[in-house]
Amino acid sequence: MNKEFPKDFLWGGATAANQCEGAWNEDGKGMSVADLMTSGSRKSPRRFTRELCSDCFYPSHEAIDQYHHFKEDFALFGEMGFKVYRMSIAWSRIFPNGDDRLPNQAGLDHYRKVFETLKANGIEPLATLSHYEMPFHLVEKYNGWLDRRTIDFFVNYCQTVFREYSGLVKYWLTFNEINVLTTSFGGLLAGGMMPQTDTTLLLTGQAKETPEEIAARFQALHHQFVASAKAVQIAHAIDPNNKVGCMVAGMAVYPYSCNPADMIATQKQMRLGNYLCGDVMVRGTYPAFAKRFFSENHIDLKLAEGDAEILQKGKVDFYSFSYYSSGCVSTDEELVKTSGNMLFGVPNPHLKASEWGWTIDPSGLRYYLNELYDRYQVPLMVVENGLGAEDKVEADGSIHDTYRIEYLREHVNAMQEALEDGVDLMGYTPWGCIDLVSASTGEMEKRYGFIYVDKDNAGNGTLSRSRKDSFYWYKRLIASNGTER
C-alpha cells in the first residue's frame, strides 16, 4: 500500500493563457509576444515574426479556445477532483498595450468569471502573472524588460489584479520560468527584448550572443527581480492571505563523470541555472558567486538606489518550479551535445528520453526537491511536470496513454520519497492537464493532457474534449490522496 500524501496537498494541473486560451484579439485583448510565434515541429523550429505575416500560422490565435470553453474544461477538472488549477492571466487582456493608464474592463470581467467558475467546481486558482506573453507594444516600444520603466507597468498590472481578485485568488506566481533569462534563448521569450531579425526560437542553445546581449539579459532579469519583489509586497499589503511564489525552470544537472572538472562545471551550472534566481527571490539578495560571474562576463549591473532593500522586503512565500528532465554536464568536448527542455548537455547513458528527446528522470525530481529544500527551507511546489507524447485515438474514441501514466506515476513516487526525506512539498500541477499548444515547437500533437482536444498541428479539428485513460488514473490518484497509483 502506498503512503498517503499530506492532507492538504494541492493536486491539480497547469496551463498558460497563450497556449490554451485563443481569442487572441477578442474583447480588447492586445497582441502579445506569443501571438507572433509561428508553429514549428521537432525538425523545424518555430519562428518569431516582428509583425504579423499573412501566410504564417500562429497557434496561439485559437489554441484550444479555452477562452470560450472554460466552463466545460473546469467541469472536467472538477470531475478529476482538482484542488488547484494553475493558469496564467494574459497581461495583454488587462492592459492591451502594457503601458495603458486604465485596465480593459472586458479582460477583468473575463478572469472574474474564470475564477468564479473554478471556485464553483471546488478548485483554487493559482495564477501566473507573466507566462511568456508580454504585451507586444512593450517589446516594440521599450525593448521589454531591458527598460526600467517596465517595472512600473508590471507592478501597476499586478496591483490591479490583486485588488480586483482579492478574496478570489490567493496563490500567485510572478514570472514563469524566470531563470530562462539566464540562458541564451531567454531574451525574447522571457525578457521581451526585440530581436534584430525574425528569429528562430528554442533551438539548441548554440545561439551566438554578443557580450552586450548577455549583459542585457541579466539587466532585464534584475528588473524582473525588482518587479517581482514589489509585487510580493503589494500582494501581502492588499491581502495578508495572499501567497506569492517564484517559478523557476528546474534545471537539475549531474556531472557526466567524476572528473573534478565535470563536478566544478556542474556546480557552476546548478548555481547559474537554478540558484541565482532562487537566491534573489527566496533569500532577497544576490548570491556570492554572482559577483565573479558578472565580472567575468563583463556584466555591469545597474542597480537603482533602494533596489537591495526592495529585494530584501519582497521575498517570496514559496518556491515553485517546472521539472521535466535532468541534464548532464561534461567538459569533454568530444561528447555530442543534445537538447532538452531548456537544458543542454550530453546524453545520460543511464536514462531514456521522450519522443521529443527530453531525458526522463524521476529520481532527478527527488534529488532536486531535496537540494532546493536544503537550501531554502520554504514550501515547494511542482507546478509543471509531464510527458509530451503523440496519442492515438482508437475507433471507439478511447485513448490508452499508458506511457503518460507510467511517467506520472514514477514522478509521484519520487515526490513521495522526497516527502519522506523531509521536504515540505505543498502541491503538484502536471503540465498541460488538457492538451494545448507546445511552447517550444508550437505543435498541438505534442500532448500532455489527461483530456484530449481534437485539433492537429495544422489547426484542423472540432476542438471537442475527451477523457484519456490517464484522466481516470489521475482521478483515482487524487481521490485516494496518492495511495492508488
Which residues are marked as active site?
Answer: 177, 384
Site string for ligand BGP, 372-391 (x = CB under 6 A): ------------x---x---
Locus of grid cell 505543498: 426
* Site for ligand BGP, residues 293 to 322, rule: CB under 6 A: 322
d(CA 327, CA 270): 10
Give the residue with the Cβ less far from ligand BGP, 320 or 322: 322
Is residue 176 a contact point for ligand BGP (CB under 6 A)?
A: yes
Q: Are strands 327-329 and 253-255 parallel, antiparallel or unpaired?
A: parallel
Q: How far is the CB of 385 from ligand BGP (least distance, A)?
A: 10
Distances in whole angstroms, Cα of residue 139 to Cα of each of 133, 161, 210: 11, 22, 20
Give the residue with the Cβ less far from ligand BGP, 388 or 449: 388
Per CB under 6 A, the segment of 20-28, 223-231, 346-354, 431-439 that binds ligand BGP is 431-439
DSSP string, 106-126: HHHHHHHHHHHHHHHTT-EEE
Is residue 457 a contact point for ligand BGP (CB under 6 A)?
A: no
Of positions 21, 35, 133, 177, contacts ligand BGP by CB under 6 A: 177
Per CB under 6 A, the segment of 91-99, 300-308, 433-441, 458-466 that binds ligand BGP is 433-441
Q: How far is the CB of 411 from ligand BGP (least distance, A)?
A: 14
Of positions 38, 104, 330, 341, contacts ligand BGP by CB under 6 A: 341
Per CB under 6 A, the segment of 152-160, 282-290, 439-447, 468-476 that binds ligand BGP is 439-447
Is residue 16 a contact point for ligand BGP (CB under 6 A)?
A: yes
d(CA 226, CA 327): 29
Cβ proximity of 66 and 20 under 8 Å: yes
Which H or E run contains 162?
helix 149-164
Euclidean distance between the first and the last CA atom of the chain, given in angstroms as a whole number: 10
Distances in whole angstroms, Cα of residue 363 to Cα of each of 67, 172, 211, 420, 478: 37, 28, 36, 14, 22
Q: How far is the CB of 322 from ligand BGP (least distance, A)?
A: 5
297 phi and psi angles, rounded to 5 deg: -105, 15
**Other beta carbons less than 10 A from residue 105's beta carbon:** 11
Give the residue with the Cβ less far from ligand BGP, 228 or 341: 341
Cβ neighbours for 203, distance < 8 A, ≥ 6 positions apart: 45, 185, 339
Is residue 20 a contact point for ligand BGP (CB under 6 A)?
A: no
Give the residue with the Cβ less far from ligand BGP, 237 or 458: 458
Of positions 439, 451, 453, 477, contacts ligand BGP by CB under 6 A: 439
Cβ proximity of 14 and 432 under 8 Å: yes
Give the residues lining the site for ligand BGP (CB under 6 A).
16, 19, 176-177, 249, 322, 341-342, 384, 388, 431, 438-441, 446
